[in-house]
Amino acid sequence: MAVVDRKSRIAIVGGGLVGSLAACFFAKRGHSVSIYEYRADIRVEDYRGQSIDLALSIRGREALRAVGLEEAVVDHHGIAMRGRMLHNKDGTLREMLYDSVKGNCIYSVSRRYLNIVLLNAAEKYPEVSLFFNKKIIDANVDNGKLKILDTKTKTIEGVEADLIIGADGAYSTVRRIMAKRPLFNCSQTYIEHGYVELFVPVGANNEFAMSGEHLHIWPRGEFMMIALPNDDHTFTGNIFAPFATLDQLKTPQDFLSFYQKQFPDLLELIGREKLVKDYFEREPKTLISIKCKPYHVGKTTLLVGDAAHAMVPFYGIGMNAGFEDILLLDELMERYNSDFSLILPKFTELRCEDAHAICELAMYNYIEMRDLVTRKSFLLRKSLDTFLHRRIPNTWIPLYSTIHFSRMKFRDCIANKEWQDKVLRRIGWCVMFLIIGMLMAPFVEVLAGKNAFSTEY
Q: Give residues in contact with ligand FAD (CB under 6 A).
A: 13-19, 36-39, 50-51, 54-55, 135-136, 167-169, 173, 195, 305-307, 313, 316-320, 322
Q: Which of 135, 111, 139 is nearest to 20 (CA)?
A: 111
CB 190 within 8 A of CB 198: no
How far apart are CB 312 and ligand FAD at their closest, in Å? 8
CB 56 within 8 A of CB 320: yes
How far apart are CB 224 and ligand FAD at their closest, in Å? 13
Cβ proximity to ligand FAD, 15 vs 398, nearer residue: 15
How far apart are CB 334 and ligand FAD at their closest, in Å? 22
CB 73 within 8 A of CB 120: no
How far apart are CB 246 and ligand FAD at their closest, in Å? 15
Beta strand 9-13 pairing with 163-166? parallel
3-state secondary structure of 141: coil
C-beta nearest to ligand FAD: residue: 16
CB 59 within 8 A of CB 95: no
How far apart are CB 128 and ligand FAD at their closest, in Å? 16
Give the 3-state secondary structure percentages of the chain, helix then strand then coil, rounded to 5: 45, 25, 30
Cβ proximity to ligand FAD, 22 vs 249, nearer residue: 22
Cα within 13 Å of Cα(334), Cβ side: 8
Cβ proximity to ligand FAD, 15 vs 294, nearer residue: 15
How far apart are CB 327 and ligand FAD at their closest, in Å? 14
Cβ proximity to ligand FAD, 304 vs 389, nearer residue: 304
- DSSP letters, 332-356, are HHHHTTT-HHHHHHHHHHHHHHHHH
How far apart are CB 398 and ligand FAD at their closest, in Å? 19
Cβ proximity to ligand FAD, 38 vs 396, nearer residue: 38
Cβ proximity to ligand FAD, 289 vs 420, nearer residue: 289
Cα distance from N-terminal residue to C-terminal residue, the chain:
89
How far apart are CB 440 and ligand FAD at their closest, in Å? 52
For the chain, give the longest Cα–Cα distance. Answer: 110
How far apart are CB 394 and ligand FAD at their closest, in Å? 26
d(CA 296, CA 439): 62
- DSSP letters, 173-206, are HHHHHHTTSTT-EEEEEE-SEEEEEEEEPP-GGG
3-state secondary structure of 282: coil
d(CA 326, CA 23): 10
Return the number of other C-beta atoms located less than 10 Å from residue 61's C-beta. 19
Cβ proximity to ligand FAD, 83 vs 313, nearer residue: 313
Cβ proximity to ligand FAD, 284 vs 398, nearer residue: 284
Cβ proximity to ligand FAD, 85 vs 389, nearer residue: 85
